[in-house]
Structure 1
Amino acid sequence: MKNFKRFALYTILLICFALVAVFYFNYPKLNIISGYAAKNVCSCNFLDNRTIEFTEKHDNNFSPVNLAKNKVDEADKLATSSVYGLQERIAVYREGLGCVLVPKKADLETISAATAPSRWQKQTNLPYPYGELPQKDTVFANVNYQQIDKAVEEAFSNNDVQKTRSVLVIYKDQIVAEKYGDSLNRDSKLLGWSMTKSVMATLYGILQCEGKLKVSNPAPVDAWQTDSRKNITYSNLLQMNSGLEWEEDYATISDVTKMLFLAEDMSAAQANKEADAKPNEQWNYSSGTSNLLSGLLRKEFSTYEEYLNFPYQKLIDRIGMKSMVLETDAAGNFVGSSYGWATTRDWGKFGLLYLHNGYWNGDQLFDKDWVDYVSTPAPNSEGMYGGHFWLNASKKLPDAPTDTYFADGFQGQRVYIVPSKDLVVVRMGLASGDAFDFNGFLSGIAEAIE
């Protein structure tokens, strides 16, 4: 009996020790989980008027984010989330800027009072994509509409797994297919995640076209000027081959999760990293690099207001992407790695701008040379990556045209640009990887155009 009691005591102590160890090692992760949940609930609610129930059922319904309990305060325009009542995080909405996670020692009132960008919302009496009017019915003899419809329908089949939210197919500026799921519609704003990187790169293309910057020049980061990092150029950053350390792992507490869900100034995360290699010697995908580029962009302007207005005046509102919002971090920098929201049709306009080599209804935003730059394989990327755009030069999509290049975001956000087919295809969703057949989807559409 005595031995049994001793065994039971040791067993209980061992279980308690194991539970303490699990809690100790996982407690910091709760901060990331509740941060993700609060930020996404806030943005979904205040940017797109989704209910908290809808967001929990769809946008936040994956492990471990679905462990978070969430609340929305409509009066103060904020969301709070916690896991088992621990590590509560707050995200607050600012008009024109979207939502931001509030750093734990930051002043909520100061962050809430941030300056909004000036928007230019001119109405244009033209059909999409250049205005608000419906398109005229157009039938192209060389387009197999039945095949396109089949590819679109298949994108929504078995949607508990594929989780497609919207598809838009544009040929020669004409919408030839459009479909929405999850009770969403053409006015729903959807998060582009890393497609925002391609938007950030475009701002550099505009600056270069205007003669205000050369991407071949060294990036002016103060902390780099006394060591070999001073040789890193804007182009090295845009092509993700700066040689800097960075860990892009969303399943752990890594460089990227600490930046997105803990950092006040996201532009500093990559700037503070040491070099693993010389520029052009090593390709390494890094969201920190995109936010560093956002911080460097801010240096190009004498006032914060000029920086804040630049993306809208020179790109977003200039091509009528009226729904788009680029969210900022707590330090006021655009989160150029991840936080661009827009309707599916406005994401389509972004793709069309590139399909037309920077030309938009009589307005040249950037040069054809810029399109060539972003769609040319970066050194050491194995043909998969250009200048903040992904490429099909390596035939990662084996049955799709090799000249395809695209903006690519977490959970399967895509804007495909296919010059040889005069085609732009947008797919927005909540699943990627093996859950969705991007090769079959895009090739099925492209092959329908003779």
Structure 2
Amino acid sequence: MKYLLLCCALLGLLTTARAQTAPLYFPPTSNTATWASVTPQSQGWCQPQLDSLLAYLGRQHTKSFVVLKDGRLVVEQYYGSFTRDSLWYWASAGKSLTSTLVGIARQDGLLSLSDSASRFLGRGWTAAPPAKERLITVRHLLTMTAGLDDTPPAPCDNESTNAACLLYRTDAGARWAYHTGPYRKLQPLLAAASGLTMNQYTNQKLGNIIGMGGAWAGDVYYSRTRDAARFGLLMLARGSWNGTPVLRDTAYFRQMTHPSQALNRSYGYLWWLNGQPSYMLPQTQLVLPGPLVPSAPADMFAALGKNDQKIYVVPSLGLVVVRMGNSAGQSHLALSSFDMELWRRLMATIQCRPLAATLSAAAGVAVYPVPAPDRLTVRLPASIPAARLRLLDVLGRPVREGFAAGPETSLDLHALPAGAFSLQIFDPQGRLLTTRRVLH
């Protein structure tokens, strides 16, 4: 009997491994050709949880949602008047596309990551002292460590690219800050290095090869949802498309999708990384403990854009997940609580895990006092032995993190300004149990 059970267990492990490492399928490059699909049921996914996920996405102002499994369509859902041929903006998810193009330029010998950005942009592209400006390299632009002020005074803002708005704050490499203005300088930098426009370079080096038919309009990339899925599939295939190398530089690909500096471990070369010991977010200098999206697989890396534009890649599961639409809640530059909830529901679908159990357990959570003057106490029911706590300000930025391992724990609110906050409570597996409003 023990031998039989052992054989069954090994067979299950082999089946799982085979499912997760199946050969990748690549759709035809023509957008009118058929893209092969598989049913959720054939993958062992549970339809009730999938129905709940799709209904949730519809309530969260989603325009489109696509999931690929090993390259094949397993979910493709459009909402309202949005269709397969509708165009939508990538917002900062386009940063990850730009990073890939920089890697292609490096493999072609057009630039080095250690090159000063001034080699391509000329002198005076910032308002920094000349000696400090020369310190800023291509790598610093890829890693958000240019050292320029990410909160310049009006009329400048985080996205401004005018030299007068790119102010020196600290030496390049010394500070991580999510700063779109310096990133956008990679586009004229690529144009100068290649002698092509951004659209010409994107199409010649990547888009035409994989059938991605989008276009840059100014600094923002627009495409159909399937185009974004094609890009995600290219990343799942580590830079190759159906045997054709696109990003051949394997060292660059690894650097791009792994921690690029020690300041924000969850940031590669313009890609967000899950499964790291800590992370930083836009508009704050807090270093927060734990992975970026605890409810998602640890090896996930993602292109994330404002208003919840998402391209997730999960090599261990052979998944590419794309979400386009309006903001699912409060407007955020990249990550939001929506990432956590989307993945909680998607993993429940994939693993056939009931959602109701965690929701009912959350009913016994108590948070007090309200308002909380100095400390906020969280009491867990016996059904929740431990939980992760995250306190968000009105902009959705994490301001406190904690771990509750007992019936009661508290968060120190001393240094926080008076106002309204949201307390998110997650179980040890990263599933969001409940969100409570807190006044301080």
State the match for 1:300 in structure 2.
193
Q: 1:306 to 1:340 in 2, by over 3 A?
A: closer
User: Of the candidates 240, 260, 274, which is equivalent to residue 359 of structure 1?
Assistant: 240
CA contact (8 A) 2:105 2:194 kept: no
Residue 396 (structure 1) aligned with residue 292 (structure 2): yes
Q: 1:143 to 1:248 in 2, by over 3 A?
A: farther
State the match for 1:184 in structure 2.
82
Mapped to 1, the partners of 2:134 and 2:70 lie a distance apart of 44
Q: 1:441 to 1:229 in 2, by over 3 A?
A: same
Shift of 1:312: 1.1
Matches within 5 A, 1:273-352: 273-302=166-195, 305=196, 308-322=199-213, 324-328=214-218, 335=219, 339-352=220-233
Matched residue SS, 1:317: helix
Residue 256 (structure 1) aligned with residue 158 (structure 2): yes
Shift of 1:253: 4.6
User: Of the candidates 253, 264, 267, which is equivalent to residue 385 of structure 1?
Assistant: 267
CA contact (8 A) 1:245 1:273 kept: yes
State the match for 2:142 in structure 1.
238
Q: 1:168 to 1:138 in 2, by over 3 A?
A: closer
Deviations 1:229-280 (A, max 9, x none): 212210111000011122289xx754236x3xxxxxx4x448x623211222
Deviations 1:62-102 (A, max 9, x none): xxxxxxxxxxxxxxxxxxxxxxxxxxxxxxxxxxxxxxxxx
Residue 437 (structure 1) aligned with residue 338 (structure 2): yes
Q: CA RMSD in A?
A: 2.7
Q: 1:424 to 1:269 in 2, by over 3 A?
A: farther
TM-score scaled by structure 2? Answer: 0.62
Q: 1:129 to 1:215 in 2, by over 3 A?
A: farther
User: Of the candidates 31, 34, 48, which is equivalent to residue 134 of structure 1?
Assistant: 34
More helix by share: 1
Matches within 5 A, 1:12-91: none
Q: 1:253 to 1:446 in 2, by over 3 A?
A: farther
Q: 1:344 to 1:283 in 2, by over 3 A?
A: same
Letter in structure 2 aligned against 1:283: W
Q: How many equivalent residue pairs? A: 299
Letter in structure 1 aligned against 2:300: T
Matched residue SS, 2:158: helix
Shift of 1:136: 4.1
Letter in structure 2 aligned against 1:149: L
In the alignment, structure 2 segments of 5+ residues that lack a partner are: 1-24, 279-290, 331-335, 352-440
State the match for 2:105 in structure 1.
207
Mapped to 2, the partners of 1:398 and 1:166 lie a distance apart of 24
Shift of 1:193: 1.0
State the match for 2:409 in structure 1.
none
Q: 1:341 to 1:269 in 2, by over 3 A?
A: farther
Mapped to 2, the partners of 1:127 and 1:248 lie a distance apart of 44
Q: 1:325 to 1:145 in 2, by over 3 A?
A: farther
Q: 1:143 to 1:279 in 2, by over 3 A?
A: farther
Matches within 5 A, 1:3-14: none
Shift of 1:382: 3.0
Letter in structure 2 aligned against 1:326: W
TM-score scaled by structure 1? Answer: 0.61
Q: 1:281 to 1:448 in 2, by over 3 A?
A: same
Matched residue SS, 1:256: coil
Letter in structure 1 aligned against 2:211: G
Mapped to 1, the partners of 2:73 and 2:256 lie a distance apart of 25
CA contact (8 A) 1:327 1:340 kept: yes
- Give the % identical residues: 28
Mapped to 2, the partners of 1:208 and 1:147 lie a distance apart of 47
Shift of 1:197: 1.3
Deviations 1:46-69 (A, max 9, x none): xxxxxxxxxxxxxxxxxxxxxxxx
Residue 426 (structure 1) aligned with residue 322 (structure 2): yes
Letter in structure 2 aligned against 1:197: K
Letter in structure 2 aligned against 1:299: A
CA contact (8 A) 1:130 1:320 kept: yes
Shift of 1:444: 3.2
Shift of 1:440: 2.5
Mapped to 1, the partners of 2:197 and 2:90 lie a distance apart of 24
Mapped to 2, the partners of 1:313 and 1:361 lie a distance apart of 17
More strand by share: 2
Mapped to 1, the partners of 2:337 and 2:129 lie a distance apart of 45
Mapped to 2, the partners of 1:236 and 1:217 lie a distance apart of 10
Shift of 1:371: 2.4
Q: 1:181 to 1:143 in 2, by over 3 A?
A: same
Q: 1:194 to 1:269 in 2, by over 3 A?
A: farther
Shift of 1:218: 2.1
Matched residue SS, 1:153: helix
